[in-house]
Amino acid sequence: MELAGVDPGRGEGDEHGRPRRRGQGELATEVLSVLHRAPGPVTASWVQEQLGGELAYTTVMTILSRLLAKQAVVRSRAGRAYVWSAAADAAGLTARRMRRLLDTEPDRDAVLASFVTALTPEDEQLLRSLLNAAESSPEGGSRDDGR
């Protein structure tokens, strides 16, 4: 996600005293982190406050809207306002990102083969165990997207 922006609340600056710029996706990651720590669905104002209040409300809304488009957050009505929550835990969000990246590649076999050959022996064994468990589950390891 291309979300670099000025962060005046960090107290860090470059050699010219300008506020440091966030790295790509850093603000979105911070917003997701806030949502994971939230006691439940929360308003954008609550998210803004948890981020230190230095960001404009419209900036927080833009980030939340982009995360909604990527299905990383969910939004529901609470009276006249919307409340927001993370769509999944950190592991689930990482898995979604991995899946989205895989879906953009024309040669899935090559990507998966490269991924597997780069695994440590421990991770390879864990992956084998997870695949075996999925095969023996009542659902038979079927996917919900029809692939």
Spatial contact of 20 and 26, defined as CB atoms under 8 Å apart:
no
In-domain check, residue 100? no
Domain range for 40 is 8-86
**Mean pLDDT, to the nearest integer, of 84-103?**
87
Residue 130 belongs to a domain: yes
Confidence of residue 61 (pLDDT cuts 50, 70, 90): very high
To the question of pTM greater than 0.95 for the whole model, the response is no
Is 3 inside any structural domain?
no
In order of 18, 22, 141, the CA distances from 71 in angstroms are 34, 22, 23
The verdict on 109 and 81 lying in the same domain is no
User: pLDDT value at position 4?
Assistant: 39
Residues 73 and 116 in one domain: no
12 lies in the same domain as 76: yes
> Would the pLDDT of 57 be above 80?
yes
Contact (CB, 8 A) for 61 and 45: no
**Across 5-14, 52-61, 122-131, least confident range:** 5-14
Question: What average pLDDT does the chain have?
Answer: 83
- Model confidence at 1: pLDDT above 80: no
Residue 6 has pLDDT above 80, yes or no: no
Question: Would 96 be classed as within a structural domain?
Answer: no
Using CA atoms, how far apart are residues 122 and 136, in angstroms rounded to an integer?
21
Is 97 within a domain? no
Number of domains in the chain: 2
Same domain, 27 and 71: yes
Give the CATH number for residue 77. 1.10.10.10
Decide if 23 is inside a domain: yes
Count of beta carbons in the 10 Å neighbourhood of residue 35? 22
- Strand locations in the chain, DSSP E? 73-78, 81-86
